[in-house]
Amino acid sequence: MRRSGVVLALLCACQSDYAEAPVDAGPAPADDAGDPIVDAGGSVDDAATTPEAGAPSDAGADADAGADAEAGSPCPIGFELGTSGCVLANPFVDPSFTGVPAGAWTVSGGATMKTDLGVARLADVATPRYHYGAVAQSIVLPPFAETGPLAWLGDVMVVSSKRNDYPLVPFIDGVAILDARSRSSFVGTWSDTTRVCLGEAAYGKKTNFLVSTGDLFDRIDVDDFRVVPDPTCPRPGVLANGDFETAGGFQIAVPTTINVVPGAGTNGSRAAKCLVSESGSNGVMFQAVSIPKSGVNAVTMRTYGTGNVHVLLDQRELVRLRSDPSRTTQTVCLPRWTHGVVSELAIGCAQDSFRAPGEAPSEVAIDDVAFAEVAACDGDAAVTNLGFETSGDPVFGWFVTERAGHFAGRATASPRSGSGYLSLQTSPDVCGSVRPWEPRATLVTTVPAFTDTEGPAVRFWYRYQPDAVSVATVSTNPVHRHELAPATTWTQHVECIPPLHTGSRFTLHFELDGRVNGCTGATLDVDDIEIVPDPTCPSE
């Protein structure tokens, strides 16, 4: 129940920030007794009856379904009677976090219900390290054919921030439906409404809805969750203006280095043309797309020229394509976690290294971008690199970030097996910097379904040579990161994956934290990652 402030509407599907990958966040810490941490104001009547962390409350879905299905209701499920007929109902129970009815929300991690303020507070300053706040509820939305495109909205206030940007990530059935990051310079006021377009997987069934956050701030408050019609959201299976013959479709981030020009495309048609400058800067174009649940598993395009084409989804690089003068048809496989969700498809061009002064600029034309179904793209083998055997810059299939002086990339000196491994290294030259961008690596893949008695787990081998202040972590769920023990030789580690990720998108995140003064340099190496069933992990 937002009291006051300015609301700034943002269409998150159009936001871009290619400097740093987002940190997932979600269910988490408990007190010494093992009970979920619940604010004294209470999101439930008593902590013992709180649903298990990570298992959203069914209150919303059950209440909505029951109310709309009552005999004599003139409206179908998911709608309510308005002044001009049946209108879309808000699927959330207690959307303003008043605590009425009790138990409508599941809170976990560093999340508390501030019922006196009518907000949910995520990642309070008292939250233990690496436990991020989340709120969750089960909801039901009508079929897409009855509603058209919908968007989720939530109001956000940064209570206290380390920086002026922060991640706020909604999940539906364990799938992050968009990296809903927005920026705010209005600390202490209601400054942003986060808007996220919903994909095909969200419609026509009961879904588990969870909103979580990361570690770039001390505290934020969220309020007024709702779902509204939004004709600006993409329709499933539509990739607009991929031949560049009309207006609309891709937005161009850097018009000085990429433009749509006549004569550059197939048979003299229009195409997007990139020109890489002497500094090596690249042009990027992007659009929000709703990838359908079935019938599409790839993006195809024609490229022509001497530059490289980078293809990203939700700011995570999928592949770098080599262009040549022969107008080659390129195929980019889409991982299974993209099916049924809205993602930001970005295409850019750049050299792998800076050009020498006076060297001719690299050029590449891009045309006929389209969705396709390609037999070679079935499954995730074409887009994952769990053993680091596929070479690429910096690591094929992974999103890596680093600050100059640190290192995150593929190494070949001493793998556990094969020819390569992931290596994260901190440098004392930049430890303790204001914005260190510690080395980290993120992979998005799909968790297969296992048996009823075995839950999903990630199994990998690592070496960790710490210094006095470094922390190496692995993250397998939206809210908790596990600290890895020092290991001078290759050591196996197994980490359970929350079962809500089964069959959908899963983010694996490794990080070597060198943010504090006094570091002398540390190294974390990872190899031979597997997604496997494990009888010690929960299956539901």
pLDDT in tens, 257-298: 788 889 888 788 999 888 766 555 567 899 999 999 999 999
pLDDT at 218 over 70: no
Query: What separation in angstroms does the CA of 452 have from each of 12, 58, 537?
Result: 37, 22, 11
What pLDDT, on a 0 to 100 scale, did the predictor assign at position 279?
A: 53
- Cβ contact 300:239 at 8 Å: no
Fold: same for 9-229 and 399-534: yes
Where does the pLDDT of residue 359 fall: very low under 50, low under 70, confident under 90, or very high at 90 and above? low
Render pLDDT for 470-481 as a digit per residue (tens, 0 to 9): 888 898 765 567
Q: State the Cα torsion 476-481-485-491 to the nearest 10°.
A: 10
Checking if the pLDDT of 379 tops 70, the result is no
CATH of the domain spanning 399-534? 2.60.120.430
Lowest-confidence region among 36-45, 287-296, 385-394, 517-526: 36-45
Within 13 Å and on the Cβ side, how many CA atoms surround 12? 27
For residue 247, the tally of other CB atoms under 10 A from its CB is 8
The CA distance from 421 to 524, in Å, is 10
Q: Among candidates 341, 522, 530, 345, which has minimal Cα distance to 443?
A: 530
Least confident of 9-13, 329-333, 386-390: 9-13
Average pLDDT, the chain: 74
pLDDT at position 436 is 46
Q: What is the pLDDT of residue 489?
A: 97
Residue 301 predicted with pLDDT over 90: yes
Mean pLDDT over 332-338 rounds to 82
* Choice between 280 and 114, residue whose per-residue pLDDT is larger: 114
Q: What is the CATH number assigned to the segment(s) 9-229?
A: 2.60.120.260
The whole-number pLDDT of residue 37 equals 30
pLDDT of residue 383: 63
Distance CA 540, CA 538 (A): 6
Strands 9-11 vs 190-197: parallel, antiparallel or unpaired: parallel
pLDDT at residue 54, as a whole number: 45
**Residue with token string 């992979």:** 443
- CATH 1.10.630.10 is right for the domain spanning 251-376: no
**382 vs 398 pLDDT, higher one:** 398
**Three-state secondary structure of 286-351:** EEEEECCCCCCCEEEEEEEECCEEEEEECCEEEEEEECCCCCEEEEEECCHHHCCCEEEEEEEEEC
